[in-house]
Amino acid sequence: MQFADILKKTLKWEGGFVNDVHDRGGATKYGITIVTLRALNEDIDEDGRITVDDIQDLTIEQAKSIYERAYFIKPKFNLLPDALQPVMFDMGVNHGPSRATRILQQVINLVGLATIEVDGGIGPVTVRAADTSYRRMGHYMINALCDARQNFYNGIVLRDPSQERFIRGWTNRNNDFRVIV
């Protein structure tokens, strides 16, 4: 699958400019948060400050570039089996690449075909274990990732009931990545 196709599926769930006071991500556009722009030092309007104005001025092309660099290549999701890349990329966008990787590593350990460190980083051991697990489990591996992701969402709501307003959208997004087997 090409990155453009992977991104298209994620952008289906990420809209235009939003600044919902209840969303812990703060101001976002195309799913890119102000925290992300600051972490990447992306001053969109080139005024020397990274503010909500930068989020508002973000173009879809700039968002695509940020996603490919910071959410696909840098966390090494591109090294995983092709079938796992869409759900991993989407989890990385939604939860952060490190959290997404920890979810993958936990699922690999639960599958029992490999035992790897849950460290939030993708290296050769995680790549091999993901490949082995996917080759043995096929699409069940994708669904196992979706199950673990749903558990993560449910945990957010249990810890902070104010986030329940988002659970339906999160669940719909997650289910969009499930595979009928």
> Which range marks the domain in which residue 26 is found?
1-74
Please give the tally of structural domains in the chain.
2
Residue range 118-143: average pLDDT? 97
- Same-domain pairing of 92 and 156: yes
Tokens representing residue 125 in the block = 């051991």
For the chain, give the percent of residues with pLDDT over 70: 99
User: Model pTM?
Assistant: 0.92
Overall average pLDDT of the 10-35 stretch: 85
Check residue 171 and give its pLDDT: 97
Q: Residue for token digits 């812990």? A: 24
Q: What is the pLDDT of residue 1?
A: 66
Backbone angles phi, psi at 94, to 5 degrees: -80, -35
Cα Rg, the chain, nearest whole Å: 17
21 lies in the same domain as 85: no
Q: Which of 54, 74, 94 is the last residue of a domain?
A: 74
Beta strands in the chain (DSSP E): 28-29, 32-33
State yes or no: pLDDT of 108 exceeds 70: yes
Q: Which of 14, 42, 74 is the last residue of a domain?
A: 74
Predicted confidence (pLDDT) per residue in 132-160, tens digit: 999 999 999 999 999 999 999 999 999 99
Residues 84, 165, single domain; the answer is yes
What is the model's pLDDT at position 113? 86
CA 14 – CA 173 distance, rounded (Å) = 10
